[in-house]
Amino acid sequence: MIFPVSCGRERRVTARVVAYRAMRVGRGCGDAAGGDGDRFGVPSCFFFFFEVGGGGYGRRAELQVYRGSTTSTTTDWHVNVRERLGLGDSLGRSSRELCLQEGYTWVPPGLTSEQIYDYMSCLPGHKVPRLGTPGEKSRERQLMLQLPKQDLALDYTRHVEPQFHTSFKDFVAARNDIALDIGIIKPHIPHDIECRGCGGVVSKGSVGVVAPRFGEDAAWHPACFVCGTCNELLVDLVYCVWEDTVHCARHYAEKLKPRCSACDELIFSGEYTKAMSKDWHSGHFCCWQCDESLTGQRYVLKDDHPYCIKCYEAVFANTCEDCNTTIGIDSKDLSYKDKHWHEKCFLCNKCQVSLVDKQFGSKMDKIFCGPCYDSQFATRCDGCGEIFRAGNKKMEYKARQWHEKCFCCCVCKTPIGTKSFIPRDQEIYCAACYEDKFATRCVKCNKIITSGGVTYKNEPWHRECFTCTNCSTSLAGQRFTSRDDKPYCADCFGELFAKRCTACTKPITGIGGTRFISFEDRHWHNDCFICAVCKGSLVGKGFITDGADILCPECAKQKLM
């Protein structure tokens, strides 16, 4: 997308801290007055201290910045508060020693060790500026963000033109006079007060923060004393008043002046650039690649960075597959499989007809219109025999291919689509038709056997269907016999069809290999074929009948005698 750059004189802007690229605008941000600050003006260590001076709430307190290395051979470096904030006289070393003694990089002035502990306990743990903790790093970051040096004194600016020096000084003086101040910790609030931050109650006797510019009837919980814009704790209690709300110095300034997104300085000139929903000095809105000014020029955003047209086309524009020239931002870029064409070059490789908004086919890295592709390369459907035209969906299975509508069940003709199917003898079946035609069915109920069937005489049965013909008892896993090809349980078969023992009158079934004796029209179990007198077994021995009885020869002889 191409964006035009506009100029504006708006005075309210959205606050945003942008990392300053010194290489872009030729602008370092080191310390002023011959300091040896790093590229971004970030000191290796910060200690801010405030001491109550005079009466009342100490409207004029003092702030100094301590900067030095961790070695004892480096000299401490100080910036007077009037150069930083314009608030007061010199700082005594005793406060700094108190901070170090208590184990913090900053403590509210005028408090005892116990009161300092009570105050710090009210802050979020990761915000407590204790030495060697994330809270120390957090405070250092907020010092740089909330109190940017280039907002506090002209010596720290690089891009305020000489004709606007007076405007800058007037802005600083007015801010210091009507808005800037330092909050004070009250270790014991004298009575219940509504918190100006959360709307809750700062209870009597608890720790609270008061802001001199709001009077004695205004108080905050320590954790609620935050900037009304960024919602961060106001670093070292430094605040500015804007529309009856406390703000950090950065966001207070941005209520009144636009801030350059490149150098992070306030803009005092009447004319500046607005682009990408940000404000810029007219000379600072530059191409990310070549540093040429984009003010009044068209530009293209790529990965949130602006590029001039020339650089964008040189770095990011695609090359046309047909004419081998760059596809500029004013041309439509048509793409297919990592290849790109000008709109005018997107043509059929054979007949040269335009393919814009038309179906086309691709073969051997070349594109063709539908008719040309069909005539040269199209395959035919195994269902209907027609060709696959460009854009048609093709269904394939084992070297065979169908139109989507032709890939259907050979029985019900329902399109298979992406559903499961079963191939058999070169035919395709849906699951329902395949089961209906080929699935194993029970010979008794004629329903499909899905699991746990029984085979009897090469015929399938459901387990629950394989029952005794007479009593319907399940025969699955049981002993059974058959008569006239019908299965019977042992009990029913014996009752209905088996010979009966002449001795015990019970059926002789033969199940399990049972042996029996037959004589004339009478039958006996092997165990029942015994002498009626001596009860000895006659199996395999001679015997003599005596009416209904059978006798061994010895007993028969005795009976005759």
Contact status, residue 511 vs residue 517, Cβ threshold 8 Å = no
Give me the residues paired with residue 537 across strands: 530
Instruction: Assess contact for 208 and 202: CB atoms under 8 A.
Output: yes
**Residue spans in the chain of domains classed CATH 2.10.110.10:** 82-256, 392-438, 454-496, 515-559
Distance, in Å, from the CA atom of 32 to the CA atom of 63, rounded to the nearest integer, reads 17
- 92 vs 174, which has greater pLDDT? 174
Q: Is-contact 558 551, C-beta < 8 A?
A: no
Confidence of residue 501 (pLDDT cuts 50, 70, 90): confident
The Cα–Cα gap between 552 and 542 comes to 7
Mean pLDDT of 74-93: 40
Range in 54-68, 212-226, 377-391, 456-470 the model is least confident about: 54-68
CA distance 81 to 67: 14
Residue type, 258: P
The model's confidence at residue 218, banded by pLDDT at 50, 70 and 90, is: very high
DSSP 527: G
In this structure, the number of other CB atoms found within 10 A of the CB of residue 369 comes to 21
Q: What pLDDT is recorded for position 43?
A: 32
Q: Give the predicted TM-score (pTM) of the model.
A: 0.51
Bridge partners, 335 (sequence order): 340
Q: Is the pLDDT of residue 178 over 90?
A: yes
Please spell the DSSP secondary structure of 242-286, one letter per residue. ETTEEE-HHHHHHHHS-BBTTT-PBP-SS-EEEETTEEE-TTT-B
More confident residue, 245 or 385: 245
> Average of pLDDT values for 447-474?
76
Q: How far apart are CA 414 and CA 401, in angstroms?
A: 17
Contacts of 234 (CB under 8 A, 6+ apart): 146, 183, 225, 226, 227, 246, 248
Cβ atoms within 10 Å of 272's Cβ, excluding its own: 23
What tokens does 397 get?
């299975």
Residue 314, helix vs strand vs coil: helix
Least Cα distance to 14 among 206, 302, 258, 337 occurs for: 258
CATH classification code of 454-496: 2.10.110.10
Better pLDDT: 30 or 204: 204
Please tell me the predicted confidence (pLDDT) of residue 285: 87
Give 399's pLDDT tier (boundaries 50, 70, 90).
low
Between the CA atoms of 287, 289, 291 and 294, what dihedral angle is there, to the nearest 10 degrees? -10
Q: Rounded to whole angstroms, how far apart are CA atoms 263 and 285?
A: 10
Neighbours of 178 (CB within 10 A): 11
DSSP string, 132-157: TSHHHHHHHHHHHHHS-HHHH-GGG-
The residue assigned the tokens 């004029």 is 60
CB atoms within 10 A of CB 180: 20
Instruction: Confirm if 111 and 185 have CB atoms less than 8 A apart.
Output: yes
> What's the residue count for the chain?
561
Contact 27, 158 (CB under 8 A): yes
515-559 homologous superfamily: Cysteine Rich Protein (2.10.110.10)
- Residues β-bridged to residue 182: 238
Query: What SS3 state is found at 372?
Result: helix
Q: Is the pLDDT assigned to residue 445 strictly greater than 90?
A: no
> Looking at domain 82-256, which of 3.40.225.10, 3.90.110.10, 2.10.110.10, 1.10.540.10 is its CATH number?
2.10.110.10
Q: Which fold has domain 392-438?
A: Cysteine Rich Protein (2.10.110)
pLDDT band for 554, please (50, 70, 90 cuts).
Answer: confident
* CB-facing half-sphere around the CA of 238: CA atoms within 13 A: 33
User: What is the rounded average pLDDT of the residues 195-224?
Assistant: 94
What pLDDT, on a 0 to 100 scale, did the predictor assign at position 301? 87
Q: What are phi and psi of 425, to 5 degrees?
A: 55, 50
| pLDDT tens digits, one per residue of 137-177 | 999 999 999 999 999 889 999 999 999 999 999 999 999 99
Question: At residue 378, what are phi and psi to the nearest 5 degrees?
Answer: -65, 140
Q: What pLDDT was estimated at residue 34?
A: 33
